């Protein structure tokens, strides 16, 4: 096989004409984990244990073992994670067709709105406004919600209060629009989960989980560096670990893009 597109891709990766951006947070014992109400079982965070480090346990080699919940750090939510998606035969980490792990990304910048209101909800009206400037959200593409939440301190990232977490996310109408009217591949966020902090009180509760996974679509949580991507044109690579009957997994999320976004300086010239 000799395909010009793949040859050009290799050339443009080698020359740097295509820029590779890492959308992944580091995994360590301080990587923030979602906390659920205390009646539910909690997910363990990331832990690492040394097997050997060029020592008596392994004189010429270094390696570790690690453990964590499937939904730790930058991670993939599979349809099988939620009750609405449990019966899809291609809905777990090992059964999703691999061609779904490479797809275009639409990046919706609501960082100013989220800075002004930690409970900010992305709506279908906001998406239609974005489409009028950037073009339609195509079927089979990702919608990534840029909030700059990944730039916050761990405490402000989770942003707990007496009445639960206060973090931005999608509205119910946003999820209905993206599943029914746009048929997207999935929805990705910079926050600890794809749903807003207060989404337990929405109807339906947790609409990103309930509606996305109910439509056999995916989630990506705890992304970073979304400010490095253009609104449209990037391609993201998102294969989760092939855990048998896995509900999701930590993963490395890599973006291929060309343009570096211009600084938003309105006072130039």
- Contacts with ligand 23J, residue ranges (CB under 6 A): 34, 36, 71, 77, 81, 193, 195, 206, 209, 221
| 36 binding partner (options ligand 23J, Mn ion, none; Cβ < 5 to 8 Å by kind) | ligand 23J
**Euclidean distance between the first and the last CA atom of the chain, given in angstroms as a whole number:** 50
Residue nearest to ligand 23J (CB): 193
**Nearest Cα residue to 130 out of 264, 232, 221, 226:** 232
**Least CB distance to ligand 23J at residue 195 (A):** 5
Alpha-carbon distance 188 to 162, whole Å?
A: 27
Binding segment (CB under 5 A) for Mn ion, from list 18-26, 53-61, 76-84, 150-158: 76-84
Cα dihedral 175, 180, 186, 190, rounded to 10, equals -20
- Choice between 184 and 234, CB closer to ligand 23J: 184
**Least CB distance to ligand 23J at residue 130 (A):** 24
**Nearest Cα residue to 73 out of 269, 233, 248:** 248
- Choice between 106 and 222, CB closer to ligand 23J: 222
- Choice between 9 and 243, CB closer to Mn ion: 243
Alpha-carbon distance 225 to 220, whole Å?
A: 13
**Nearest Cα residue to 184 out of 83, 100, 86, 126:** 100
| 190 binding partner (options Mn ion, ligand 23J, none; Cβ < 5 to 8 Å by kind) | none
- Residues annotated as part of the active site: 81
Cα angle 69, 146, 118; round to 5: 80
Alpha-carbon distance 146 to 123, whole Å?
A: 14
Tokens encoding 56: 């008596």
Q: Does 195 contact Mn ion by CB under 5 A?
A: no
Find out whether 24 and 224 touch, Cβ atoms under 8 Å.
Answer: yes
- Choice between 82 and 177, CB closer to ligand 23J: 82
Q: Does 109 contact Mn ion by CB under 5 A?
A: no
Binding segment (CB under 5 A) for Mn ion, from list 4-12, 74-82, 122-130, 181-189: 74-82
Binding segment (CB under 5 A) for Mn ion, from list 72-80, 152-160, 201-209, 261-269: 72-80
- Choice between 84 and 257, CB closer to ligand 23J: 84
Q: Does 70 contact Mn ion by CB under 5 A?
A: no
Alpha-carbon distance 81 to 84, whole Å?
A: 9
């Amino acid at each position: 096989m000799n395909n010009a597109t793949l040859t050009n891709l290799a050339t443009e990766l080698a020359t740097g004409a295509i820029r590779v951006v890492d959308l992944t947070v580091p995994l360590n014992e301080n990587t923030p984990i979602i906390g659920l109400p205390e009646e539910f079982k909690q997910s363990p965070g990331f832990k690492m244990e040394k097997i050997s480090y060029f020592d008596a346990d392994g004189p010429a080699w270094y390696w570790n073992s690690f453990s964590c919940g499937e939904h730790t750090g930058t991670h993939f939510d599979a349809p099988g994670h939620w009750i609405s998606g449990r019966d899809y035969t291609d809905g777990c980490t090992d059964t999703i067709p691999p061609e779904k792990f490479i797809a275009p990304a639409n990046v919706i910048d609501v960082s100013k709105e989220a800075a002004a209101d930690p409970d900010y909800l992305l709506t279908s009206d906001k998406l239609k406004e974005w489409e009028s400037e950037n073009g339609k959200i195509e079927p089979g593409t990702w919608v990534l919600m840029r909030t700059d939440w990944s730039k916050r301190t761990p405490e402000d990232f989770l942003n707990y209060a007496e009445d639960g977490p206060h973090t931005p996310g999608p509205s119910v109408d946003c999820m209905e629009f993206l599943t029914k009217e746009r048929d997207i591949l999935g929805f990705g966020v910079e926050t600890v989960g794809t749903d807003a902090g207060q989404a337990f009180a929405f109807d339906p509760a947790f609409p990103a989980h309930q509606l996305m996974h109910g439509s056999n679509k995916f989630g990506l949580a705890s992304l970073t560096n979304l400010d490095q991507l253009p609104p449209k044109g990037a391609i993201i690579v998102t294969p989760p670990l092939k855990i048998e009957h896995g509900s999701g997994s930590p993963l490395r999320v890599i973006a291929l893009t060309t343009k570096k976004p211009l600084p938003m300086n309105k006072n130039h010239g």
